Structure 1
Amino acid sequence: MKICILGAGALGSAIGGTLAEAGSEVYLINRREEYVNNINTKGLVLRNGTTDRTVKVQARTDCTGIGPVDLIIVLVKSFHTKEAIANAGELIGDQTIIMSLQNGLGNEEALAEVVGKEHLLGGKTYVGGVMLSPGHVLAGTKNKYTYIGELDGVISDRVTRVADVFSKAGLSTVVSHNIIGVIWDKLLINVATGALSGITRLPYGGLYNVPEIRDCAFEAILEGIAVAKANGVVLVTEDPEEIWLKAAEGLPAEFKTSILQSLEKGSITEIDDINGTIVRWGEKYNISTPVNRLLVAGIKGIEYRIKNYGEKA
């Protein structure tokens, strides 16, 4: 399968490298020239546990010259979704499948506005990645599931085909008839850990050793569950402890959430599309979300400090 990872940071590199290793023709799109040059000259280095392996894969700073692909996996930050897919026109043929594995809610709607809903699959992954250096990625793929599905719940030939490619590459993949519910389930996991990791600067090894952090995460999750139920979403679980534990399942102690990784790079985060989503939907349904509101404020404060005082997290 010819696959393009649009926004190949740590997670995109982990997924794209794994697919390339299994025989797919994979293109990693990343705007950083150092990342692209390292991969094209030295290969992509994936670390699982303490073992490194080098994978041959193609990297580009843009989509020029690639031509139509079978599958585009969108992994840019949510606030760049429309711009990224609009600049990827030459990748999109009549049969091209476009699948978001991004954080937060609303990515499918943003993509549909540009390319039409007929190209889209929904998806969420529990695979993790940390960029150790440009082109060297800590890949958390073992026992981490990816869920994909048609937005209308139909089990189609194309979604089955994509799942087969992922699974044969060692990326355990499940076809879901309730992908909207799965997207909310993953949102709750990000709600649980993302902002708290960013505020405390703790990777998972530390984050999960502080009882007060766990308690705060539970409250944030419960707010999210209330909002989801008010929206008629069918969740896999409504147990905050199960969600909290699932967030770290199979990931190393040094794993960092995407919010913490963004702050450490001096970048803005996707907080508006994670905890901010819970706040906005809570307002819509008149549900109080004070914990998520406070977590948003904390991350916004750190972003302000970085922008105005030149400090990184």
Structure 2
Amino acid sequence: MKICILGAGALGSAIGGVLSEGGHEVWLVNRGQAHVDAIRQHGLLLREDGVDRKVRVHAATHSQGIGVVDLVLVLVKSFHTREVMLSAKNIVGPDTVVLSLQNGLGHEDVLAEVVGAGQVIAGKTYAGGVLLAPGHILAGTKGKETLIGELDGRVSSRVLAIAQAFNAAGLSTQVSRNMLSEMWDKLLVNVATGALGAITHLSYGDLYAVPEIEACALAAVYEAMAVAQAAGIRLGTTEPRQAWDKAAAGLPPEFKVSMLQSLEKGSITEIDYVNGAVVRWGQKYGVPTPTNLALVACVKGVERALLKQTQTRQSA
């Protein structure tokens, strides 16, 4: 299978590396020249269980010249989805499948507007990755589940083929008949740790050592579950602690949430698509979400402070 990963940062590179090891032709597209150059010159280094291994994989800063692919995995930050997909339409042929594995809600609608609803399927992954250095990734894919499915609940041949390819490569993948519920279950995991990791700048080991952080996380997940119930979403998660426990399951203590990784790179986060989505849906269905609103406010405050620091350094 020929696969292109748009937004191949830490997570995308980890997934792409495993798929390449599984015998697929994988292209990692990342705007960061240093990351791409390192992969081209030395191969992609994946670290698991404290051991590095080298993976040969294609890397580029744009999609020009790649040609039409069988599968596009979209892993760009949510706010870049439309722009990046528009720029990569050259790799989408009539039979190309476009799969979002992004955090949060609403990406499939954006992708469908660009490439057509018939070519988009939905997915969520509990895998993770941390960028240690350009071309060097701490991979969190082992034993971490990925779920994919058609938006209308059908079990199609194309979804089954993708799941088979992923599983054969070592990415634990299940086909779901109810991706909206799966997306909400994954959202609960992001709600549990994303904002709190960004605000505190703590990796998972330290994040889980503070009882007050845990209490705040459980309150935020409880609110999100109440919103989902009001919206008629059938969740697999039955109590908030399941989301809190699942967020860090199997990951090393030095692992960092993606929102914190964004801040450390000087970028804004996906808070509007995670806790912010809970707040918006809560407003729509009349469910109070004060904890999530506070987390959104704090992350946006951190983002603003970071922006001011950057502007001050540039003007100095």
* TM bracket (short chain): over 0.9
Which letter does structure 2 place at the counterpart of 1:21? E
Equivalent residue of 2:296, what SS?
helix
The match for 2:203 is 203
Q: How does 1:138-217 map to 2 (within 5 A)?
A: 138-217=138-217
d(CA) in 2 for partners of 1:231 and 1:87?
34
Structure 1 equivalent of residue 272 of structure 2? 272
TM-score computed with the length of structure 2 as normaliser: 0.97
Specify the alignment match of 1:66 in structure 2: 66
Letter in 2 for 1:82: R
Q: Distance in 1 between matches of 2:231 and 2:253?
A: 35
**What SS does the corresponding residue of 1:94 show, helix, strand or coil?**
strand
Unpaired runs of 5+ residues, structure 2, are none
Distance in 1 of aligned mates of 2:231 and 2:91: 35
- CA drift of 1:34 comes to 0.8
- How many residues are paired up? 312
Distance 2:149 2:108 in 1: 12
1:82-101 superposed matches below 5 A: 82-101=82-101
Distance 1:172 1:27 in 2: 21
Alignment root-mean-square deviation, CA: 1.0
Match of 1:4 in 2: 4
Query: SS of the counterpart of 1:250?
Result: coil
The one-letter code matched in structure 2 to 1:207 is: L
Tell me the distance in 2 between the aligned counterparts of 1:276 and 1:238: 22
Matched, 1:234 2:234: yes
Q: What is the alpha-carbon distance in structure 2 between the residues aligned to residue 234 and residue 85 of structure 1? A: 30
Deviation at 1:309, TM superposition (A): 2.2
CA deviation map 1:235-278 (0-9, x unaligned): 11121111110111111100000000011111100000000000
What secondary structure, in the 3-state scheme, does the structure 1 residue paired with 2:95 have?
A: coil
Q: Deviations over 1:59-92 (max 9, x none)?
A: 0000011111000000000000001110111110
> For residue 303 of structure 2, what is the aligned residue in structure 1?
303
- Specify the alignment match of 2:132 in structure 1: 132
Equivalent in the alignment of 1:45? 45
> 1:135-167 CA deviation, whole Å, 9 max, x = no partner?
100001111010000001101100000000100
Aligned partner of 1:33 in structure 2 is 33
Alpha-carbon distance in structure 1 between the residues aligned to 2:30 and 2:38:
12
User: Could you tell me which amino acid in structure 1 is paired with residue 114 of structure 2?
Assistant: V
| Structure 1 residue 113 displacement after superposition | 1.0
**Percent of aligned pairs sharing the same letter:** 58
Correspondence for 1:261: 261
Structure 1 residue ranges, 4+ long, deviating more than 3 angstroms after superposition: none
User: When the two structures are superposed, what TM-score results if normalisation uses the length of structure 1?
Assistant: 0.98
Match of 1:21 in 2: 21
Matching residue's letter, 2:43: G
SS of corresponding position for 1:171: coil
CA displacement at 1:294 relative to structure 2 = 0.3
